[in-house]
Amino acid sequence: MDNIILLLGIQGVILGLGNGVSPGPVTSVIVLNSINKNFSSGLLTALTPVIAGAPIVAGTIFLGSEIIENDNILSYIQVIGGLVLLLLGFYSIKSSFKKMENKSKQTVGMAPALLLTVFNPAPYLFWTLVGLPLYKRYETLSSAALTLFFVTFFISLFLGGAFYAVLANEVKKRGNSLIIDNVNSVLGFLIIILGAKTIYEVF
């Protein structure tokens, strides 16, 4: 039981950080606000995936649990989710901070950033293809482990965005974005391992 709790806690950290720094609409807004306005604005933007993410997770898992009862269907979803993680990992490794940094010189407020998260299909896909199979697999084994997973995921999700805000602020001062690309590569590699593990567990 302790091993399950530890495993899900580690997975929550890796997936949370991976989602927090993975290139996307919200990450771009964090970078833009940090560079074009100030660090506090970027940090505030990093909260939007957490605020909007909680109801997205609850709704996706509740509806998915009600609709999907067949273990075979769940296994297919888990394999697709593993493939999504593999793609996310490779994308993180290949991503470049400079591409986001040079997109715009404008800033985005908190409300538009929240709407950007709500209408972004990526969180819904992630929790349907990755979060739901994980939840269904462990819901009867350890509620404490699942709770730890969700807590560590959302804390790490915020820390990932906050870390990006810190680094973007440093890039603004020093002009060196190599460290961000290196962090993305490490997290991408860890996400690829989780993706392979997710697929392997089905077979």
Q: 76 φ, ψ to 5°?
A: -60, -45
Cβ count near 33 (within 10 Å): 26
Confidence of residue 132 (pLDDT cuts 50, 70, 90): confident
Identify the domain containing residue 139 by its residue range: 2-202
164-174: average pLDDT: 74
Please name the residues in contact with 202: beta carbons below 8 A apart, sequence gap of 6 or more.
75, 78, 79, 82
Q: How many residues in total does the chain contain?
A: 203
pLDDT single digits (tens) 9-51: 888 888 888 787 776 777 777 877 777 777 888 888 889 889 9
Number of domains observed in the structure of the chain: 1
Ordered alpha helix ranges (H), 22-142: 25-36, 39-45, 48-67, 71-94, 97-101, 110-118, 121-126, 132-138
Does residue 57 contact residue 150 with C-beta atoms inside 8 Å? yes
Distance of CA 5 to the CA centre of its chain: 20
pLDDT single digits (tens) 61-101: 888 777 766 667 777 777 887 887 788 777 767 765 555 55
Confidence of residue 154 (pLDDT cuts 50, 70, 90): very high
Residue 119 has pLDDT above 60, yes or no: yes
